[in-house]
Amino acid sequence: MPAVSFYISEKVLIALRAAAQSQKTSVSKLIRESVEARLGKEEKNAGKEEFLRVLKTLDLGDWNEVHRERTAESDDRD
């Protein structure tokens, strides 16, 4: 894995070291997992935004039509 250097405040470093010690892991692993989680969240949000964009382009009818269709579907269920 490539190494990366960056600057953080002393306060953050102290908190990271304490968290790493309590979780019996390394500071590097905590940072790596945090960055990966953040990037995953950004991908997920981008996916949601794309879904909403596509959804807005669809003609789903007005509320009464949707409600009528949902009610009919519910009546057909056992």
Helix ranges (H only) for the chain are 10-22, 27-57, 63-76
d(CA 49, CA 43): 10
- Looking at the domain assignment, is residue 17 inside a domain? yes
Residue 25 has a pLDDT of 97
- Looking at the domain assignment, is residue 1 inside a domain? no
**Cα distances (Å, whole numbers) of residue 39 to 15, 30, 32, 33:** 22, 14, 11, 10
d(CA 19, CA 31): 11
- Looking at the domain assignment, is residue 56 inside a domain? yes
User: What domain count does the chain have?
Assistant: 1
Domain span holding position 33? 10-76
- Looking at the domain assignment, is residue 18 inside a domain? yes
- Looking at the domain assignment, is residue 4 inside a domain? no
- Looking at the domain assignment, is residue 2 inside a domain? no
Give tens-digit pLDDT for 13-72. Answer: 999 999 999 999 999 999 999 999 998 888 888 889 999 898 888 887 888 888 888 888
- Looking at the domain assignment, is residue 42 inside a domain? yes
Residue 55 has a pLDDT of 85
